[in-house]
Structure 1
Amino acid sequence: MPARLDREAWRARGDSLPAVLRGLVRPVRPAAADGARPGDRLRRRLGELSGPARLGALLDLVRGSAAAVLGHADPARIDLDRGFLDAGFDSLTALELRNQLIQETGLGLPPTLLFDHPDPGRLARHLLAELDGGDHSGILAELDRLAVTLDTADGDADTRRRVTARLETLLSKWRDRPEPGRPNAEPAEPADDDELFALIDHELGLS
């Protein structure tokens, strides 16, 4: 029967909302009291762990997030080696899980995440590799956070021009830095708007 749904009231109930209704609303995530950015808490936790415990923490994150998206109270219902599609995910719930993991990790994750890494084990290993980031993890982590910000920003035309100009300046300075062993390398040409955002889309997986 037709009915008017008060989604804001449902959303405010958070985890107390019956599982059958959770797919109709997106939960509100409270802002961190200390101003922490997405992924900071997870990175601090991983920094306190070593070896298999780091992967175990990410497996718990993936299974817990997947269970919440599917409306399961117990993350143990998400088998480690069972594919997400076999577990009941479709394109919409796959995107919802990807969005939750962006909030938890601060990474710029592509919409095809669950199709590229089709079970919890492979997805957790991928997240660990992305969070480790090799020798330049700090720089890459900041770019991941920037990618998330740009992906969700809704600025006016003036703000977009100012942000674009700032990004162009930073990218030009980065490109002008000589490569190791090539102190007299020719500086690169400044990027135009299309090149800059194409770079962000391609390198950070937002296309």
Structure 2
Amino acid sequence: MFVGEIMSRELITLFPNDKISIALKLMVKHDVRQLPVVDKTDKSKLLGIVTSRDVKLNVNQGKNDVHELKPVSVEAVMQRELATVTSKTFVQDAARLLYMKKIGGLPVVDKGKLVGIITYQDILGVFIELMDGLQKSARIDVQVKSLDDVEEIKRLLESEDCKMIGIGQVSEKHGEEVYSFRIKHRETLPLCNLLSGAGYKVVEHFC
């Protein structure tokens, strides 16, 4: 499964000259913990990201113990060195990056343009669906030479009304990567014949 299939496309963004009070209001209103910062003249140009932690670090204790936000701009607190993914990144690779970086979300950037954001919550939803589906699923492992092959195999399986549960690399044999295609339970032999006829080598299959 690719990031582009589950990412959020309706983005809530900030401009560099916005105050962090604006960031806080948007986070509370939309129940999010990170907001991309974009160029005011080109909203697809990602400049940075502001997280709830960045906001919390800019709180002053005012009179009568009332906490007040410092009057600073988003540009002054945003993170500029960002980990990003593309819409063609595999979900498991995005999950690994979130885990390794200990962050809650990743901007999705295609050819220099911000196209979405993927969060832990998005991935958790996929994980729950995957766990539910594993007990009633079939699997086909195929050797591929490139990600274009992965996309074409996915297209071929879906053309046979296969419901895709997950895709992931499982091993490497003879210099070629082997990808596992997990689908809703059904007879796999006809699908294997279809893939073989299209020139792909099926390593093994289970149903």
Instruction: Confirm or deny a common fold (TM above 0.5).
Output: no
* Greater Rg over alpha carbons, structure: 2
**Greater fraction of residues in helix:** 1
Whichever structure has more strand as a proportion of its residues is: 2
TM-score range, shorter chain: under 0.3
Q: What TM-score do the two structures reach when normalised by structure 1?
A: 0.26
TM-score normalized by structure 2?
Answer: 0.26
